[in-house]
Structure 1
Amino acid sequence: MPRTTQPAPPRSRQRRALLLGGLAAPLATPGTAQVAPQAPAKVLRVMFNSAETSFDPARISDLYSRTVTAHIFESLYGYDHLARPARVVPRLADGMPEHNADFTVWTVKLKTGIVFADDPVFGGKPRPLVAADVAYGFLRAADPANKSSFASEVESWGLRGLNARRKAAMAPGTRFDYDTPLEGIQLLDAHTLRFVLDKPRPRFLTKLTFNSILPAQAREVVEHYGETIGEHPVGTGPFKLKQWVRGSKIVLERNPQFRELRYDAQPAADDADGHALLARFKGRRLPMVDQVEVAIIEENQPQWLSFLNGEIDALVANVGSVPLEFAPLAVPNGRLAPNLARRGVQLHRNLRADSALLFFNMDDPVVGGLAPEKVALRRALSLAYDADREIRLVRRGQAVPAQSPVMPGTRGYDPAFRSAMSAYDPARARALLDLYGYVDRDGDGFRELPDGRPLVLQMSTEPEQIYRLFNDVWRRCLLAIGVRCEFRIAQWPTNLKSAQGGTLQMWMLGDSAAEPDGQDALRRWYGPESGQGNLARFRLPAFDAIMDRMQTLPDGPERDALFLECKKLAAAYMPYKVLVHRIANELLHPWVGGYRRAPFWNDWWHMVDVDPALRAAHG
Structure 2
Amino acid sequence: MSSIDLDAPVNPGRRTALGMAAAAAGGLLAPGLASAAPSAGDVSPKVLRYAFRVAETGFDPAKLSDLYSRIITAHLFEGLYGYDYLAEPAKIKPLTAAALPEVSADFRVFTVKLKPGIFFTDDEAFGGKPRELVAQDYVYSIKRFADPANKSPAWGELEELRLVGLAEVREEALSKRTPFDYEREVAGLRALDRYTIRFEVREPQPRLVEFLAQGDLYGALAREVVERYGDQIPAHPVGTGPFKLVQWRRSSLVALERNPQYREVLYDAEPAADDAEGQAMLAKYKGRRLPLVDRVEVSIIEENQPRWLSFLNQQHDFIERVPEEFINIAMPGGKLAANLKHQGIQGYRTLYWDVVVTLYNMEHPVIGGYTPDKVALRRAINLGTNIQREISLGRRGQAIPAQAMEVPHTTGYDPKFKTEMSDFDPGRARALLDLYGYLDKDGDGWREMPDGSPLVLVKNTQPDQFTRGLEEIWQRDMQAIGLKVDLRIAKWPENLRTAQAGKAMIWDVASSSSQPDGQGALGRLYGPMSGGANLARFKNKQFDAIYDKMKALPDGPERLALFQEAKRIAVAYAPYKNHVHRYVTDMAHPWVQGYRRPVFHNDFWHYVDVDNSLKKA
TM-score normalised by structure 1 residue count: 0.92
The match for 1:78 is: 82
1:60 to 49, 59, 64: 64
The match for 1:341 is: 341
The match for 1:5 is: none
1:180 and 2:184 matched: yes
1:140 and 2:144 matched: yes
Contact 2:303/2:465, CA 8 A, preserved across alignment: no
Q: Per-residue deviation at 1:596?
A: 0.8
Q: C-alpha separation between the residues in 2 aligned to 1:167 and 1:508? A: 33
Which 4+ stretches in 1 moved above 3 angstroms?
none
The match for 1:42 is: 46
Q: Per-residue deviation at 1:532?
A: 1.4
Q: Per-residue deviation at 1:157?
A: 0.6
The match for 2:135 is: 131
The match for 1:322 is: 322
Q: C-alpha separation between the residues in 2 aligned to 1:96 and 1:121? A: 31
The match for 1:98 is: 102
Report which stretch shifted further, 178-187 or 542-551.
178-187
Q: Which amino acid aligns with 2:463?
A: P
1:196 and 2:200 matched: yes
The match for 1:115 is: 119
1:240 and 2:244 matched: yes
Q: Per-residue deviation at 1:351?
A: 0.8
Residues 531-550 of structure 1: CA deviation (Å, up to 9, x unaligned): 11111110000000000000
The match for 2:276 is: 272
Q: Per-residue deviation at 1:346?
A: 0.8
The match for 1:535 is: 535
Q: Which amino acid aligns with 1:252?
A: L
Q: How does 1:473-492 map to 2 (within 5 A)?
A: 473-492=473-492
Residues 286-313 of structure 1: CA deviation (Å, up to 9, x unaligned): 1111111111222212111111111111
1:212 and 2:216 matched: yes
Q: Which runs of 5+ in 1 are unaligned?
A: 1-35
Report which stretch shifted further, 443-452 or 408-417.
443-452
Q: C-alpha separation between the residues in 1 aligned to 2:381 and 2:533? A: 23
Q: Identity percentage over the alignment? A: 56
Q: C-alpha separation between the residues in 2 aligned to 1:484 and 1:248? A: 36
The match for 1:398 is: 398
1:260 and 2:264 matched: yes
Q: C-alpha separation between the residues in 2 aligned to 1:85 and 1:264? A: 16
1:602 and 2:606 matched: no
The alignment partner of 1:212 has SS state of helix
Q: Per-residue deviation at 1:513?
A: 0.8
Q: C-alpha separation between the residues in 2 aligned to 1:398 and 1:81? A: 25
Contact 2:594/2:608, CA 8 A, preserved across alignment: yes
Q: 1:527 to 1:173 in 2, by over 3 A?
A: closer
Q: C-alpha separation between the residues in 1 aligned to 2:299 and 2:469? A: 26
Residues 489-547 of structure 1: CA deviation (Å, up to 9, x unaligned): 22222221111111111111111111111111110100111111111110000000000
Q: C-alpha separation between the residues in 1 aligned to 2:355 and 2:499? A: 18
Q: Which amino acid aligns with 2:599?
A: P
Q: C-alpha separation between the residues in 2 aligned to 1:455 and 1:301? A: 36
Residues 336-364 of structure 1: CA deviation (Å, up to 9, x unaligned): 11100001111100111001110111111
Q: Per-residue deviation at 1:556?
A: 0.3
Q: C-alpha separation between the residues in 1 aligned to 2:441 and 2:215? A: 56
The match for 1:298 is: 302
Q: C-alpha separation between the residues in 2 aligned to 1:62 and 1:360? A: 19
The match for 1:544 is: 544
1:286 to 279, 287, 290: 290
Q: C-alpha separation between the residues in 1 aligned to 2:456 and 2:313? A: 47
The alignment partner of 2:174 has SS state of coil
Q: Which amino acid aligns with 1:267?
A: P
The match for 1:354 is: 354
Contact 2:153/2:531, CA 8 A, preserved across alignment: no
Q: C-alpha separation between the residues in 2 aligned to 1:380 and 1:529? A: 26
1:307 and 2:311 matched: yes
Q: 1:100 to 1:400 in 2, by over 3 A?
A: same
Q: C-alpha separation between the residues in 1 aligned to 2:603 and 2:433? A: 47
Q: Per-residue deviation at 1:38?
A: 5.7
Q: C-alpha separation between the residues in 2 aligned to 1:285 and 1:457? A: 54
Q: Which amino acid aligns with 2:120?
A: F
The match for 1:523 is: 523
Contact 2:55/2:492, CA 8 A, preserved across alignment: no
Q: How does 1:378-389 map to 2 (within 5 A)?
A: 378-389=378-389
Q: Which amino acid aligns with 1:61?
A: S
The match for 1:23 is: none
Q: C-alpha separation between the residues in 2 aligned to 1:243 and 1:432? A: 54
The alignment partner of 1:111 has SS state of coil
The match for 1:7 is: none
Q: 1:38 to 1:270 in 2, by over 3 A?
A: closer
TM-score normalised by structure 2 residue count: 0.92
1:416 and 2:400 matched: no
Q: Which runs of 5+ in 2 are unaligned?
A: 1-39
Cα RMSD (Å)? 1.3
Q: Which amino acid aligns with 2:252?
A: S
Q: Per-residue deviation at 1:422?
A: 1.0
Q: Per-residue deviation at 1:463?
A: 2.1
Q: C-alpha separation between the residues in 2 aligned to 1:38 and 1:482? A: 66
Q: Which amino acid aligns with 1:546?
A: I
The match for 1:554 is: 554
Q: Which amino acid aligns with 1:179?
A: E
The match for 2:25 is: none
The alignment partner of 1:544 has SS state of helix
The match for 1:371 is: 371
Q: C-alpha separation between the residues in 1 aligned to 2:200 and 2:230? A: 30
Q: Which amino acid aligns with 2:250?
A: R
1:51 and 2:55 matched: yes
Report which stretch shifted further, 490-499 or 133-142.
490-499
Q: Which amino acid aligns with 2:96?
A: L
Q: Which amino acid aligns with 2:181?
A: D
Residues 311-347 of structure 1: CA deviation (Å, up to 9, x unaligned): 111112xxxx111211111111111111000011111
Contact 2:60/2:237, CA 8 A, preserved across alignment: yes
Q: C-alpha separation between the residues in 1 aligned to 2:454 and 2:233? A: 49
Q: C-alpha separation between the residues in 1 aligned to 2:272 and 2:162? A: 35
Q: C-alpha separation between the residues in 2 aligned to 1:597 and 1:373? A: 44
Q: C-alpha separation between the residues in 1 aligned to 2:363 and 2:370? A: 10
Q: Per-residue deviation at 1:458?
A: 1.3
The alignment partner of 1:213 has SS state of helix
Residues 117-157 of structure 1: CA deviation (Å, up to 9, x unaligned): 11122222211111001111101111111111111111111
Q: C-alpha separation between the residues in 2 aligned to 1:250 and 1:243? A: 6
Q: Which amino acid aligns with 2:194?
A: A
Q: C-alpha separation between the residues in 2 aligned to 1:297 and 1:479? A: 32
